Copies of this chain bind each other. A is one copy, B any other.
Amino acid sequence: METVKHQKWWGWGEEGLEFTYEDKPKFAGFLLDNVGVDVHDSASATPDFDALPVPEPVLKPALKKALAAIVGEENLSTDTECRLVHSFGRGVVDLIRLRQPDLGRMCDVVCYPGSEDEVVALMRAAVKSRSVLIPYGGGSNIVGALSAPRGETRTVISVDMGRMNTVLSIDAASGLALIQAGVLGPDMEEQLNAQGWTMGHFPDSFTWSTLGGWIATRSSGMQSDKYGDIADMTRGLRMVTPDGILELHPLPSTASGPSVREMVLGSEGRLGIITSAWMQVHRVPAKRTIQGYFFPTYEAGLKAMEEIAASDAAPSITRVMDKYETAFSIANGKQSSPMDHFLNQAVQKLMSMKGWNLDDACLSLIGFEGSSRHVRYEKGLVDAIISRNGGMGVGTGPGTLYDQKKYDVPYIRDFLLDRGIPADVSETATPWRYMAQMHDETIAAAHRAMERAGVQGYVMCHLSHSYHAGACQYFTFAVNDSSNSMLDTYYTVKKAIQQSFMDNHGTVSHHHGVGVEHAAWLPQDISTTGIRFQGLLFDGVDPDHNLCPRP
């Protein structure tokens, strides 16, 4: 399908786009000091496509013919690169498996339906032929949800929704747009913006994730404080299930429970394939600004965000980096970046005068949207709270930089992986009361795990989404292990972090989903009775586990 864009098969994003340290004078030193890797040493090359032991597709001619009759010959592919792209998410585990190579159970065929009717026909064909269906959006999944279980003997059909990529209609009075599920973030915003609207949903994966994927994984974007999580924005939807089409017409709210809408949200392909949704959209605001602040400590930043959440102010973004992530941000800056500018001159002097320990200083970004007057009013409320907690404003420089680079992090991850440094992210949400404890315990747990594994590594964290009752904390970690046990080392740290989430009043994931990678912790989160409730749905709707079967 030439009209559907794909990421490079071996890493994040488009071919040709890569992270470079060469315009960031502090980066190499930072990496050497903190992870023990010299960027000037040779990096591993792109995995060798021709050397990959790609198995022949398990696909009987009759089924292939039936699938081609549904979507058209030109919208079906058994091409090796196409199958590779559709069999792996962009999580570090999937990328490591591609490099080992350990291809597991790849999909056999990729279908690109162009309409809901075709999705219905694919669903019927899959159930009838006892095949497996795995819906595919932008491929950004990092919880292992795109691969079929090892040992799956049935035909595995990847359903790429990329042709269903249109904003179908906008109900301007209600601020609702009917949008096809396969649209990628930038394409969707472009269509909305052209009519003066925005959905306000900007997850880190924005460039390579789709509406259907966001709904299926309960995604959350960086402006969720104002626009809500995807669960709040999704007001109606259509999903093709083995039983027929689930149709939920758009509603601002309803008392009919248990909420079927909420059964679809986070269903991760296991109840059906979402084809379209009625989403909340907003007029592009007159004014949008991201203000930078510094706090003397992370705890002070957390306290300020807690107070903002309880105040009359309602900013669009609340973000505080801990000292480790602040240091990384500075090291990741270009010489001429606003970050450098602010830290090198007046600000550092002021911090010293205030008696701050400069190594503890934490960068915070607060976003405001609305009319100019509203932004001024809210910024006034927030500034007072930040001052009261010892913070200080540093203007729009860091925010501007953040806005430019916010989607670039996965490219750094791939750069590090090329150098034997597996890096990943884990995030959770916690009531305010446990935020500092969660942070300190998780950082410590990660370091203990690195010590156990005998590797050098780095872990850092930021608060990324605030609510009345608490917030999300987003941890990023990297370990120096280019050996064959890279994956074991990775899991030692990853598991320590996830267990710390459970031990410190957190949830298994705030917005990356459960998938395969986080499933082991779910009983500790929603209790075994909760697992049983979910199982009743999965087993009842899909008794033969044709849909995204789990290992």
Chain A residues engaging chain B, CB cutoff 8 angstroms:
171, 173-176, 217-220, 229, 231, 235, 241, 243-260, 262-268, 271, 280, 282-283, 306, 309-310, 312, 314, 370-371, 374, 377, 429-433, 465, 467-472, 505-514, 522, 525-530, 532-534, 536-537, 540-541
Contacts and interface: CB of A to CB of B under 8 A. Distances in A.
Given A251-B429, A262-B262, 20 more contacts: A174-B433, A175-B468, A218-B255, A218-B256, A245-B527, A245-B529, A246-B527, A248-B527, A248-B530, A249-B505, A250-B431, A253-B465, A255-B509, A257-B267, A258-B263, A259-B259, A259-B265, A263-B263, A532-B540, A536-B540
B252 A471 contact: yes
Given A508-B254, A530-B248, A259 B260 contact: no
A266 B260 contact: no
Nearest to A216: B257
B533 A246 contact: yes
B433 A255 contact: no
| 9 closest A-B pairs by CB | A257-B266, A252-B470, A536-B540, A262-B262, A174-B431, A252-B467, A260-B530, A254-B507, A312-B374
Contacts of A248: 526-527, 530
Contacts of A534: 258, 260
A212 to B, nearest CB: 14
Number of this chain's copies in the assembly equals 2
A257 B246 contact: no
B171 A433 contact: yes
A469 B176 contact: yes
Contacts of A310: 175, 282-283
Contacts of A253: 220, 229, 429, 465, 467, 470, 472, 507, 510
22 contacts: A175-B469, A218-B256, A241-B529, A244-B528, A251-B429, A251-B469, A251-B470, A252-B429, A253-B510, A254-B508, A254-B510, A255-B507, A255-B509, A255-B511, A256-B509, A257-B513, A258-B265, A258-B534, A260-B530, A260-B533, A377-B377, A533-B540
Contacts of A429: 251-254
A514 B258 contact: no
Contacts of A522: 256
B529 A246 contact: yes
A469 B174 contact: yes
B530 A541 contact: no
Contact of A256 (B175, B256, B514): B514
Nearest to A436: B173
A314 B174 CA distance: 17
Contact of A258 (B266, B471, B510, B529): B266
A173 B432 contact: yes
Contact of A255 (B176, B283, B370, B513): B513
Among A171, A256, A370: residue with most chain B CB under 10 A: A256
Contact of A246 (B250, B264, B268, B530): B530
A203 to B, nearest CB: 11
Nearest to A310: B175
A235 B258 CA distance: 16
Contact of A537 (B283, B314, B533): B533
A80 B259 CA distance: 37
Contacts of A171: 431, 433
A527 B218 contact: no
A239 to B, nearest CB: 8
Contacts of A431: 171, 173-174, 176, 235, 250-252
Given A176-B469, A433-B173, A312 B265 contact: no
A76 to B, nearest CB: 27
A541 B537 contact: no
Nearest to A286: B312
Contacts of A220: 253, 255
Nearest to A530: B260
A470 B174 contact: yes
Contacts of A271: 258, 533
Contacts of A309: 175
A321 B309 CA distance: 33
A537 B271 CA distance: 14
Contact of A430 (B252, B260, B266, B469): B252
Contacts of A264: 258
Given A266-B258, A530-B260, A252 B374 contact: no
